[in-house]
Each structure stands twice: as C-alpha cells, then as structure tokens.
Amino acid sequence: MTPVKRNTFLKKVKDITISGSLSMLILSSGLYGCSSNESTEGDYEQTEVYTQGVRTYIKETSKGEFKITEEIAVPADSSKAIVTYLDGRVETLTKEQSKKLIDEEITHNQNTIGHNNGLSNVLLYGGMGYFLGRTMSPNYGFYRPDFRGDNNGSGFVPNGGVKNSADMGRYYSNPETFAKSSEVNRNITRSRTTVTRPSSSRSGFFGSRSRSGSGFGG
C-alpha cells in the first residue's frame, strides 16, 4: 500500500506545480483580471502621407538627351514616368524604378548631376523627383533648389549643378510645361495629411506597446 500512496502524492504535487505555472503565466501576461479601462497609449501612431502624385511624360530629343513634355497630377499610387525613346520604344517607370535610377546617378556619377539632360537628371529635377523627395527618403534637398529651404538654408549646390528653381526649366520641353509643373508640385504639397494607424511595434503573441512616429523629410 505504501507505493500506491507515494505515487498519488507525487501526482498531486505535479498537478499543483503545473497549475501554479499556468497561473503565473496568465498573471504575467495580463490576460487575467485585466481592466477594460487599461490605457492603449502607444498602440497607434500618426504618419504623414501624400495623397497626390505625378505622371511625367518624357521624350528623348537626341541620343541620351531627354525633355519633359507634360506633367499631370494623379493619385499618389498612380505616379509613374512614361519615357518615349528615339526609336519609338515606350517605357513606363514606376516610382520605385525612377528612384533607383536617381539614386544610382547620385551614388556613381556625382559630377554629372545637374550638368546634362540624361534620364536620371530629368527624373530628379522634374515632378517625379519632387514627388519622390517629399514621400521617400532621402528627400534630395541638396540637389533640388526648391527643397533647400528645408535643409536649414544651407544653399549647398553639389558640383556646381542646378543653383535655382529657374535652372530646372531646361529639363522641360518649353516654358509653359515648366510653369504647369509648378502647379502640379504645389498640388502634391497641399495633399499632405496626417493619418492614424496601428503602431508597427504591436507584434508578438501578447503584443507590445511603444511610442513611435514617423514623418517625411521636407
């Protein structure tokens, strides 16, 4: 009879240990006895977004030289650059593809920025560059004259490139198109708004809380 009683005692101790462990887990996770009035501060964050973008039409005027022929305001998600080449080929660049071309030019060809009408320069100094500079990082403030006020007025001009906003007119097919682009850019700026969304830090089985926020340069 003694062995039976000993086994029974051990089983009871094991059950109590498991029960205690579950209780501690529930208490530490906050699932037991939580108040319905618990603060949710940190569960949401405010983010700046732009609802308007640009569709840029670009034409190759001579080998490796381009001009912007038209720019129109479109919803931000519809932003793109449509490029027509000398041979009649038409290429559509998404905003991500346009940014990649600009960033590669900045990284590998510093001496050509603002000095020619290559496709990357036309994208950078046209409406697409303005849109990308407002909505994605980096904001191209050292390259676009109309952004320099957002960089503490440094007035820095890389390698003697584009010095003022009027200089950007050479990337457009005519003064009228350039003037129209200014209104498109203003439309993008006016579309900036603040939205509230669940914080990106809310993750894991039980979730987590933290203070976070983000904004666009410029």
Give the pLDDT score at 138. Answer: 80
75-84: b (≥16 Cβ within 10 Å) or e:
ebeebbbebe
Write down the pTM of the prediction: 0.69
**Is 133:141 a contact under the CB 8 Å cutoff?**
yes
pLDDT value at 178 more than 50: yes
pLDDT value at 194 more than 80: yes
Q: In this predicted model, what pLDDT tens digit does every residue of 35-45 receive, in sequence order?
A: 444 445 557 88
Structural domain contains residue 39 = no
State which residues form the domain around 99. 47-193
- Report the amino acid identity of residue 102: I
Q: In this predicted model, what pLDDT tens digit does every residue of 13-70 receive, in sequence order?
A: 444 444 444 444 434 444 333 444 444 555 788 888 899 999 999 999 999 999 999 9
pLDDT confidence bin for 195, thresholds 50/70/90: confident
Q: In this predicted model, what pLDDT tens digit does every residue of 111-135 receive, in sequence order?
A: 889 999 999 999 999 999 999 999 9
What DSSP element (H or E) covers 132? Answer: helix 127-135
Structural domain contains residue 216 = no
In the chain, how many domains are there? 1
Q: In this predicted model, what pLDDT tens digit does every residue of 75-103 receive, in sequence order?
A: 999 999 999 999 999 999 999 999 999 99
Structural domain contains residue 173 = yes
Structural domain contains residue 27 = no
Rounded-to-integer distance, Cα 180 and Cα 190, Å: 16
Structural domain contains residue 207 = no
Structural domain contains residue 38 = no
